[in-house]
Structure 1
Amino acid sequence: SREMYSSEIRKQALLDTRRFLRHDLPTVYKDMTRVNSWLIKARKKCQAAGNVLVEKEAPDDLYPLLRNFLFSAGKWLSLNVKTDYRQGLLELYHEVMGFLRIAAGYNESYATCLETVKNDLRLKLFCIDPSGHLKEAMKRSKASLFFSATMTPLNYFHKIFGCSETVQQIVIPSPFPSDNFCLLISESISTLYRERHKTKDDVVGDILAMVKQKQGNYLLFFPSYQYMAMIHSLFLSRQPEVKTIIQASGMDKRERDDFLSMFVHENHETLVGFAVMGGVFGEGIDLIGDRLSGVVIVGVGLPGISPEREMIRKYFAKQNRSGFEYAYLYPGINRVLQAAGRVIRSEN
């Protein structure tokens, strides 16, 4: 929901589209140039602040420039002229429209985030606390139901979802028999960032101890791509005969489907998949029965420190003194529970 009520635009996306329009669409080109000039000034301001700048004020003086672009671009797009650049302009048009739609709801629960990467500028309207928007959405319906197997702690979700004090909270026992479930916790190995190189051999040793117990398919979850790659490399050097598959950043649907297709029923050899917590394989996938024999979760799953996470921490520290819990701890717990849930996908 936080991302649903947030939106961003990038300077480079504007330039990539504008470069085709100078001669064919001079009015649209000029409107885009005015937007780009505003973004250049914002980029200089951001660079002077150390390449990351967070402001509570909305970029109100940018909005009229974006509306002018929407007017001139929309006028031409309505003609449905077939050109090589039409699709790019249409996509930018919808991005800007979505950005202004979010801007209309900007309030005290928002912040404006600017970040520079080389010559590009990312401008984001970031919704720190979506509860107000969700509360208004629920008012427009007769009833609302939030349900998940990993909705814990309930008080946190109660607050984040903007629920009233009278809302009912129901906890239903899992139908999965506890005798079929084995939970093993290794407390002796540190996975702190500064300790990871020192303990990587121990981590791989514990992973091998598990996957060698029973032939089958296993998914290993890590808090970052870098950590995952380090353990994967060491795993291969120590056990090259075990088949592995590793998640890549930015996988498209075909690549994700190919990854999951490797987890087959009655596999005649052990398969070990390496994935990232909170990523595309950390939730919403069903590997029923012996398509997945076990899951290994390495680390506590806390999100990395970032400007956006720090905004959440500071905001809720003022609201209810639970800034660290709301920004890092509870999302981390949820990632771990989501990853562990991949191994239980049916009643038996």
Structure 2
Amino acid sequence: MDSAPSPQDTAAEPSYTVAVRALCAFTARSGDLDRRFAPTPSAEEGVRGHAALVARRSASYRRELPLEGRWGPLRVRGRADGWDEAAGRLEEIKTFRGRLDTQPAGERRLHWAQLKVYGALLCAERGLRTIELALVYYDIDRGEETCFHERHDAAALQHEFEQQCAAFLAWAQAEAAHRQQRDAALDALPFPMPAFRDGQRALSVAVWRSAQRGQVLMAQAPTGIGKTLGVLFPLLKALPARGVSPGLDKLYVLTAKTPGRAIALDALRRLQPPSGGAEPALRVLELVARETACEYPGRACHGEDCPLARGFWDRLPAARAAAVAEPGGVLDAATLRRVGLAHTVCPYHLAQELLPWVDAVVGDYNHWFDSGGMLYARTTEEGWRVAVAVDEAHNLVERARSMYSASLDALELRAARRTIARPLAAPLRRLERVLARVPEPAPERVPERPAGGAAPPAAYRAFDALPDGLSEALHAALAALTQAMLEAPAAQPEPAALALPLDVPADAPERVDAAQRLRELGYTLGAWLRLAERFGAHSMFEVDASRSGAGVVAPGVRYGLRNLVPGPHLASRWSAAVTTVLFSATLRPEAWHADLLGLPAARLAQVDVPAPFAATQLRVQVAQQLSTRWRDRARSLPALVDLMAAQWRAEPGNYLAFFSSHDYLQQAHAAFTAAHPDVPVWAQSRAMPEPERAAFLARFVPAGRGIGFAVLGGAFGEGIDLVGDRLIGAFIATLGLPSVSPVLEAMRERIDAQFPGRGDDYVGLYPGLQRVVQAAGRVIRGPEDRGILVFMDDRYASARVRALLPSWWPQPTLLRR
């Protein structure tokens, strides 16, 4: 290192640029992984905390001091939080919640590392021989600051800085070589199939053009043309730099369900180009949920409790190197588990630390679109240029709504208050009082109902504003809960208080349960606080007192922050990606998706790929004598099951029968088996485990005979392929509309206020028919398939409904009595 060039020794233009934060994250972490519960302040809270602290400083204090330095071909730059010229003191400010004495040692070392790099850069810039460094922690809930300060010699800081630069530069140069190899291989990448399918080329061309123009593309393309390959192939071809275009760093493939990840991974395996070297040209990473990847469920993510967290940062480099050298280049969950366990590191966190090393990532929607989406956070922090592919994008509206909604049970809040020490319980009691200020329906006495009877009337109200003082009460409650979680056993003043935080021994399950409950409530309060700070016309505040006990509505109330229009929350996601492709077989009407998702009009492009199927492949029938409206269901059930049995007897084979809810499915299933016991039937159940799902699908054998009862929008309504005569037809009851409820009415009113005249369609008709078209799409999957659709509702005979169905479908035959 002594002979290496210093930042001032080279006049050549730097080849690599890195932020101080990224440099230290790469080179200065050591020891245990520690992910104990400690809710961090939001970005907005951090800004406010910094401003409050800076306001206390002297007139000579300069905030956000830009600093930059060179070491060989590496440029390092960043902004130090504050420099007091008169005192000669450089500060790094960190906002926090909870107790500072419980801060993980590795986190403190990382903060010092960042401050020392800033110190080295400032000493080199101003010719200082020594400097005072101050690490300042600011408690945003109490407004208190704690300062740790040290005086450092400039030469020692410079030496440490050069060591970090050397380590980072070795990786950066290796990654640059990989990037060059990757881009050359992708430039030469041919389409992996002998020829494009009908419609697949048109889809790929539209995706390519949108990527070149930096657009958000809505791509509707029918099932059976190979949509995934048709989208991913042009996006991979768009990664290499061309001319003045810097190219793209990464491709994110986001899916709504687990089967979608498997399809995407298979497509990327097919698209893996020949590398011409020892390592794969394309590195692909699969991200899964923590619950799926965790090897020690119930244990906390820190070295005192989990052996895979102990010494994680020390063993990470070897595990990372082994992972990127894996043959085939696809680091799926199974491969990461094998590599992680071989190096005694957590597979879940290994995946996260591999993000800078990979070219393509396959994961769930939430990794990008959720408020805490890890892919989004890393992309914006690192400045990556990315393309995003959203598979089965018709699911995104409902999924995004759930990401930006939260609920809070008053009974759970009360139980948590009784669990923690009395002095800490006051803020939770205050939050209860704030929530209770909202007018709520009085509890209703209802007669005891027989098993299976109708539920009591819902006691539900929705509001366009939050209760006064809610954000302040949430701040205080979250601070109290955090302190309770981090309290040492000896500091608990009451026997009823939680004995330990998260590092609970395995032989104390009752303590684990208490800790888990408080931890989950902490996450809930954190979500509420974030949503409350961004509350607007896109959401509503709910009070639901409809939980019933033995003959009387229980005193427990559930409060909710329900998102209706996720667009305002997703705006930053559309702008963070260079290009985004939303693809599905059902993206009609386009305006519905564009409005609710907030797609940027200036960058929006659309393509509707014609289906390669012929109308002769499908017969469509509408039972116009049947009404499956809520009020008519019981009366129409005998005729409905007789129609199904008659069709099955006329053309025996395998059918799927779809119903709008589990309750309706059960009623129809019971009526069918009673009236036609000779017809083989099987039914989807609530919360069906994976083995039972597989058994359900296994009944659809070639040339088989029977009817499977399923729920629209459920596990068997999309994403399954029953080709040939494994499935010859489908029965569909209702328009797929959600059940009438106070919640639905409140949503309709508010969406109608934002999009006049569209409330009924946006809340009911469009999402209902989307589920219908997805379910109907199970019948024709390829050019050789033949089948029949029987719509068991008179509303399918209307021109307005038929206009929303696929245009290639033939005109329906109207069944009369």
The two structures have a TM-score, normalised by structure 2, of 0.39
* CA 1:283–1:204: 2 relative to 1, 3 Å: same
Higher deviation after alignment, 216-225 or 45-54? 45-54
Could you say which residue in structure 1 is the equivalent of 2:509? 84
Partner of 2:401: 2
1:112 corresponds, among 533, 541, 545, to: 541
1:58 matched residue in structure 2: 466
* 1:320 equivalent in structure 2: 755
What is the aligned partner in structure 1 of residue 519 from structure 2? 93
Measure the CA separation in 1 of the matches of 2:768 and 2:574: 27
Alpha carbons 2:713, 2:771 under 8 Å: kept: yes
- The CA distance in 2 between the partners of 1:344 and 1:35, in whole Å, is 58
Q: Which of 538, 561, 565 is the aligned partner of 1:125?
A: 561
Change (3 A) 1:250 1:11: farther
- In structure 1, what is the equivalent of residue 616 of structure 2? 179
**Equivalent position amino acid for 2:735 in 1:** V
Greater CA drift, 61-70 or 145-154: 61-70
Where does structure 2 lack aligned partners over 5 or more consecutive residues? 1-399, 445-458, 488-499, 549-553, 785-817
Matched, 1:38 2:435: no
For the residues of structure 2 that align with 1:181 and 1:55, how far apart are their CA atoms? 47
- After superposition, give the CA deviation of every residue in 1:14-48 in whole Å (9 maximum; x if it has no partner): 577x59x85xxx43996499359818973995342
The 8 Å contact of residues 421 and 484 in structure 2, kept in 1 or not, is answered as yes
Question: In 2 relative to 1, CA 287–91 (structure 1 residues): closer, same or farther, beyond 3 Å?
Answer: farther
Q: Which has the larger radius of gyration?
A: 2
Is the 1:70–1:97 contact (alpha carbons within 8 Å) kept by the matching residues of 2? no
Deviation of 1:220 after TM superposition, in Å, equals 0.7
- CA contact 1:265–1:291 (8 Å) conserved in 2: yes
2:778 to 309, 318, 342: 342
Q: Which residue of 1 aligns with 2:61?
A: none
Alignment pair present for 1:257 and 2:651: no
Question: Match of 1:276?
Answer: 711
Following superposition, the deviation at residue 102 of structure 1 comes to 5.0
1:79/1:249 Cα in 2 relative to 1: closer, same or farther (>3 Å)? closer
- Which residue identity does 2:404 align to in structure 1? Y
> Equivalences for 1:130-141 in 2 at 5 Å?
130-141=566-577
Indicate conservation of the 8 Å contact 1:114/1:124, yes or no.
yes
Change (3 A) 1:89 1:12: farther
Structure 1's 27 and 236: CA in aligned 2 closer, same or farther, altered over 3 A? same
CA shift, 1:237, in A, is 2.1
1:172, 1:196 → 2: CA distance? Answer: 37
Residue 78 of structure 1: how far off its partner (Å): 4.4
2:657 corresponds to = 220
The alpha-carbon distance between structure 1 residues 225 and 257, as it changes in their structure 2 partners (threshold 3 A), is same
Paired residue type of 2:619: C
Other structure's SS at 1:147 match: strand
Cα distance in 2, alignment partners of residues 67 and 309 from structure 1: 35
Q: CA RMSD in A?
A: 3.0
CA distance in 2, matches of 1:241, 1:298: 22
Number of residue pairs aligned between Structure 1 and Structure 2:
341
Distance between the aligned counterparts of 1:315 and 1:38, measured in 2? 27
TM-score, structure 1 normalization: 0.86
Distance in 1, matches of 2:464 and 2:735, equals: 31
Query: Helix, strand or coil for the counterpart of 1:312?
Result: helix
Does the residue aligned with 2:619 lie in a helix, a strand or coil? coil
* Kept after mapping to 2: 8 A contact 1:220/1:273: yes
Which protein has the bigger strand share?
2
Cα distance, 1:89–1:251 mapped onto 2, change above 3 Å: farther
Query: 1:298 offset after TM fit, Å?
Result: 0.7
Tell me whether 1:145 sits opposite 2:581 in the alignment. Answer: yes
Q: Identify which of 285, 308, 328 aligns with 2:720.
A: 285
How big is each residue's C-alpha offset from its partner over 1:261-281, in whole Å with a ceiling of 9 and x where there is no partner? Answer: 3223342xx221112222332
**2 CA distance for matches of 1:95 and 1:54?**
23
CA contact (8 A) 2:564 2:751 kept: no
**1:230 shift after superposition:** 2.5
* DSSP-derived class of the 1:204 partner: helix
1:162 aligns with 2:162: no
Residue in structure 2 matching 1:195, options 621, 632, 656 = 632
Contact kept in structure 1, 2:463 and 2:541, CA below 8 Å = yes
Distance in 2 of aligned mates of 1:313 and 1:297: 25
Identity value in percent: 28
Task: Give the ranges of 4+ consecutive aligned residues of structure 1 lying more than 6 Å apart after TM superposition.
Answer: none
* 3-state SS in 1 of match to 2:748: helix
Equivalent residue for 2:373? Answer: none
**1:304 aligned partner:** 739
Deviations 1:290-313, CA, capped at 9 Å, x for gaps: 332211101111111223322221
1:204–1:234: 8 Å Cα contact kept in structure 2?
Answer: yes
Distance 2:483 2:691 in 1: 37
Task: Tell me the amino acid that sits aligned with residue 112 of structure 1.
Answer: F
Deviations 1:88-127 (A, max 9, x none): 6336524541552353133211111121203333222100
Partner of 1:103: 529
| Most deviating of 36-45 and 322-331 | 36-45
Deviations along 1:39-60, one digit per CA (max 9) or x if unpaired, are 8973995342872122223351
Q: CA deviation at 1:244?
A: 1.1
Q: Measure how far apart 1:172 and its partner are.
A: 0.4
CA contact (8 A) 1:111 1:128 kept: yes
Is residue 48 of structure 1 aligned with residue 460 of structure 2? Answer: no
Kept in 2: contact 1:110–1:128 (CA 8 A): yes
**SS at 2:775's partner residue?**
helix
Residue 496 of structure 2 corresponds to: none
